[in-house]
Structure 1
Amino acid sequence: IELHPYFPQVEQLAYDQANGIITEAWSPLRRGDLLSDPVITDIAAAHQVSAGQVVLAWHIARDVLAIPKAASPERQSENLGALDLALDPGEVEAITALGRADGRINAQDPAVYEEF
C-alpha cells in the first residue's frame, strides 16, 4: 500500500498488525520529495545519518516492509544503513505526525476506485 511519512496509514497498519498481515510500503520514500522535511532532516542530523535512512528506519520501527528503489550500489548501501538506526518512540511519533490530508501521491483512493 502507499505508505510514507506524509501518508502513514495509521489505521490500516493497525488493522494489518492485528490480523497478522505484513504491510509492504509502496513508495516508502515518497519518491524522495519528503527528504528535505525539517522534522526528518533534524532527526538525521541528530543521528549523523541521511534523511533516507531516517525514513527507512521509521518504516522498520513500525514493522513495515519497505522496499525502496535504489539504482546505484552507493544508494543501496546507504539504504541498508537504516537497519543500524534505532529511532526512539518520540522520533517515530514525530515522523508519523507528518501525515496530512494531501499526503497521498496517487489521488485515486483505492477504496472508491472505479475503472474507466
Structure 2
Amino acid sequence: MDETSAGPGAVRLVHDDDRDRYEALDGDVVVAVLAYGDSDGPDAEGGALGLMVRDLRSTVVAPDRSGAGIGSAIVRFALDDIRGQGMTVRATCWFARGWIERHPEYQDLLEDAPQDQEGDAR
C-alpha cells in the first residue's frame, strides 16, 4: 500500500490496490475515496496489449470535508502514482477529468492525449 501525508487537514493519502481505490484518511477515518478500474490499452495496431489504462471512475469526499482541497489532493496523488507505474489515464469521473484539464502538467497521462512528435518522454 503506497501512502503519503498531504496538505489540507493533514490527511494521509494511501493507495489501497486490493480495493482498487485511493483513500484520504484522517486518523483511521476514510474522508475521501477515488475509485478506479484497470484495463489494457490499445497497442500501436489497435489491439489490446498496450499500456495499462487506469480509469478514474468516481471521487467522493465526505460532506463535512468538502471544499478543503482533499479531492484535489487525492487526484494529484493518484496521477503521480499512475505516472510512476508508466500507465495512462481515462478519467470518467467528472471531478478528476476537470482537475486534469486545469493542470496541463498531467494532461500527457490521458489515454487520448496527442503523442509528442519529438519523442518527449516524461
Q: Which has the higher strand share?
A: 2
Task: Give TM-score scaled by structure 1 length.
Answer: 0.32
Higher relative contact order (Cα pairs below 8 Å, separated by 6+ residues): 1
Task: Give TM-score scaled by structure 2 length.
Answer: 0.31
Q: Which has the higher helix share?
A: 1
